[in-house]
């Protein structure tokens, strides 16, 4: 029964973090997206994945998110009624970057076949 709560908490944290990050951590000319939240079984920590466009700003966004964690947690605390919020661990989600590489490779294969 306890395990079934974790996916709901993950989803709730993802939705609220997405809203808060877009308001509080916005950087000019970038789009930051929270892509996943994975809480540990004991709810002591949560890995939070993010992507950023353009992805060359991934390091800058990671530093900004890490520096803003205290503010983000206090805003989360005011919006979510959990006894204890997990410690947030930020991770760059390179899925978009990898998908783009694969699409370009596939497009390149199609072009060489037609020549």
pLDDT tens figures, 74-108? 999 999 988 889 999 999 998 877 777 788 888 88
Domain count, the chain: 1
Amino acid 106: pLDDT? 86
What confidence category does residue 57 fall into, taking pLDDT thresholds of 50, 70 and 90?
very high
Domain that holds residue 56: 2-114
DSSP string, the chain: -HHHHHHHHHHHHHHHHHHHHHHHS--TT-EEEEEEEEE-TTSSEEEEEEEEESGGGHHHHHHHHHHTHHHHHHHHHHH---SSPPEEEEEE-THHHHHHHHHHHHHHHHHHHH-
Give tens-digit pLDDT for 7-22. Answer: 999 999 999 999 999 9
Domain of 28, CATH number, reads: 3.30.300.20
């Amino acid at each position: 029964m306890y395990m079934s709560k974790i996916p709901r908490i993950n989803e709730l944290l993802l939705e609220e973090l997405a809203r808060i990050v877009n308001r509080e951590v916005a950087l000019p000319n970038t789009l930051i997206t929270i892509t996943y939240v994975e809480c540990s079984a004991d709810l002591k920590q949560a890995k939070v994945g993010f992507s950023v466009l353009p992805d060359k700003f991934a390091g800058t966004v990671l530093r900004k998110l890490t520096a803003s964690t205290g503010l983000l947690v206090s805003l989360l605390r005011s919006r979510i009624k959990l006894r204890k919020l997990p410690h947030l661990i930020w991770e760059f989600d390179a899925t978009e970057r990898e998908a783009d590489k694969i699409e370009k490779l596939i497009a390149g294969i199609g072009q060489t076949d037609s020549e």
